[in-house]
Amino acid sequence: MFDVAIIGCGPVGAFAANLLGKSGLSVLVVEQEARPYPLPRAVHLDHEMMRLFQSAGVIDRVAGDMRDTEGHLHVGADHGVIRYMGTVGRARPFSWSNDYFFYQPELEAHLRDALGVYPHVELRLGTAFAGLTQDGEGVTLHLSGVAGTDTVRARHVIACDGARSAVRKALDIALDDLDFEEPWLVVDAEVDGPVRFPDLSGVPAAANLQTLSVMVCDPARPTTVVPGRGNHRRWEFMLLPGEDDQAMMAPNVVATLVAPYLDGVPHRILRAATYRFHGLIARQWQRGRVFLAGDAAHQTPPFFGQGMCHGLRDVANLAWKLERVTRGTAPEALLATYQPERDPHVRAVISSAVEAGRYICLLDPAAAAARDSRMRAQAQAVPQGTAADLIPAIATGIVARGTAGAGERFIQPRVGDRLLDDVTGAGWRLFTRRPVETDADVITVPLDTLADDGAIAAWLDARGADAVLVRPDHYVFGTGEGADLIACRDALIADTHREVAA
Ligand SMILES: Cc1cc2nc3c(=O)[nH]c(=O)nc-3n(C[C@H](O)[C@H](O)[C@H](O)COP(=O)(O)OP(=O)(O)OC[C@H]3O[C@@H](n4cnc5c(N)ncnc54)[C@H](O)[C@@H]3O)c2cc1C
């Protein structure tokens, strides 16, 4: 019996397998395709993902292919700026740039290759999930592949099988529809030179249009222009009412659409495909021993480039819980905190993307002009945040609610020439000003032993606390006095058992 079976080896499944493989669990990954999907969908990820790649031991493989970027710029109907979410000069709380662009097939290849270092992780390609049953001990999976059918057993299953998830359907789990659906044409190209933006106005001096994701909210044709790694570039064009998907993918139509940005710039179109951008969230993320993660659990309009990021956060949340439950150091019921922690988090960010989608996709010129005036007034009244500010704290589950900073993502300062997590490891960590006796599964880090230039002391000062307990997924459990925090954590984990039993 495998400890965990993962259905689907897209980015979320492959990342989950790395995290679980690193923690020593036996893992089966089942992927229906013989080869990885060759075209990029996601192009952007944020700094939390770089930190998670550190945790999974894959950062050295993936970092070289990342291109750091400087945030998002939205322009209105007159092509003047209406919203600037720039990251130039902003704090880098995890010591990584705030945002990166990447090429999804390369990332997926790195994540798959990395599995080769774990003899206890098996990747079965060309093998599809065909059904399941479960009992008190585990899950029986029915699989089908070129060699025929097979059954395997696993204690727990993570369904990372994408938007059309066969596992979600087999479990008869419905999706909440956030009432947003718009068709967009996605064009990828290799471009040998800077992209042109001849008619934009009001662009802040610090903003470099070549390294920003630029959203042109022009009711004539809402368009996103996104840098990629190397010479890869992405355009997304909204389809207008009555436009036909097939006709819009025709090379001459694509050439006309990209022409204003590429006048005189040598380029090759790699692909053009239409997608429906929508906001959908599964009503249940857990059924017994089976968990939905990634696009199987939720889909977002890609306006802040967060779809895959949500999925990586999902499995980072699940992985440490699965490890403890499998090793018998936490009750099975700890896993019931997965959806309560992740669902509100994902819902908040998808709701922000849907809200942005509603103003981006306006096609009525009068409504677009009114939006532009409103957003410019708002931008003057309230300081503009970055996309990272959209990510909320965890508010329920294994967090010491009511203590300062609980549920936030903890900082990762540099410690000498290394990064904090590389020095401490990524388990439960207690950063404390005073010595504390703890049980074995918490790494105690007295602040006076850490060459972090006082970064964590300053973080604690700002929250009026002596110690902070940080979870393995880098979210703050809570702040206060060290021994109390650990006792509170143990009580909360024990309570999950009682809550589920009730
Ligand atoms: C145009 C566009 C732009 C986007 N931009 C961004 C962005 O910038 N940033 C971002 O974070 N996200 C972005 N996304 C979203 C991102 O691409 C997805 O969230 C991400 O790919 C989901 O990963 P996943 O592993 O959950 O699912 P998938 O990538 O869909 O992988 C699912 C895997 O499961 C396999 N599978 C399916 N059924 C079975 C079965 N029955 N048995 C076995 N295997 C099976 C599939 O073959 C596939 O390999 C974008 C999406 C689109 C469409």
Secondary structure (DSSP) of 46-79? EHHHHHHHHHTT-HHHHGGG-EEE-EEEEE-TTS
Is the confidence at residue 410, as pLDDT, over 90?
Answer: yes
Is the confidence at residue 383, as pLDDT, over 80?
Answer: no
Atom of ligand 1 nearest to the CA of 163: 30
Is the confidence at residue 91, as pLDDT, over 60?
Answer: yes
Cα 246 to ligand 1 centroid, rounded to whole Å: 22
End-to-end CA, the chain? 30
| Confidence at residue 3, expressed as pLDDT on a 0 to 100 scale | 98
The protein residue whose alpha carbon is closest to atom 42 in ligand 1 is 128
Atom of ligand 1 nearest to the CA of 184: 1
CA angle 52, 320, 130 (to 5 degrees): 95
State both tokens at 97: 């740039």
- H-run or E-run covering 340: helix 338-360
Is the confidence at residue 339, as pLDDT, over 90?
Answer: yes
Report pLDDT digits (tens) over 216-257.
999 999 999 998 888 999 999 999 999 999 999 999 999 999
Amino acid at 408: E
Q: Which residues sit opposite 61 in a β-bridge?
A: none
Atom of ligand 1 nearest to the CA of 40: 17
188 vs 371: CA distance, rounded Å: 29
230 vs 213: CA distance, rounded Å: 15
| Confidence at residue 500, expressed as pLDDT on a 0 to 100 scale | 55
The protein residue whose alpha carbon is closest to atom 35 in ligand 1 is 8
Residue 307 burial by Cβ neighbours in a 10 Å radius (0-12, 13-18, 19+): buried
Please indicate whether residue 32, judged by its CB atom, sits closer than 6 Å to ligand 1: yes
189 vs 233: CA distance, rounded Å: 5
222 vs 243: CA distance, rounded Å: 14
215 vs 343: CA distance, rounded Å: 28
Q: How confident is the model at residue 499 (pLDDT cuts 50, 70, 90)?
A: low
| Confidence at residue 496, expressed as pLDDT on a 0 to 100 scale | 84
What pTM did the predictor assign? 0.95
Which residue has 């998670």 as its token pair?
52
Report pLDDT digits (tens) over 171-219.
999 999 998 889 999 999 999 999 999 889 999 888 888 888 999 999 9
3-class state of residue 222 by DSSP: coil
Domains with residue ranges and CATH for the chain = 2-65+103-176+280-337 (3.50.50.60), 414-501 (3.40.30)
DSSP-assigned letters across all residues of 109-159? HHHHHHGGG-TTEEEEETEEEEEEEE-SS-EEEEEEETTEEEEEEEEEEEE
44 vs 115: CA distance, rounded Å: 23
**What separation in angstroms does the CA of 307 have from each of 37, 281, 294?**
17, 12, 8
CA angle 462, 468, 470 (to 5 degrees): 125
State both tokens at 437: 């006796």
| Confidence at residue 498, expressed as pLDDT on a 0 to 100 scale | 65
The total number of residues written for the chain in this structure: 502
Is the confidence at residue 295, as pLDDT, over 80?
Answer: yes
| CA-wise closest residue to 185 among 140, 223, 231 | 223
CA angle 388, 232, 258 (to 5 degrees): 100
Is the confidence at residue 4, as pLDDT, over 80?
Answer: yes
Cα 420 to ligand 1 centroid, rounded to whole Å: 31
Cα 11 to ligand 1 centroid, rounded to whole Å: 7
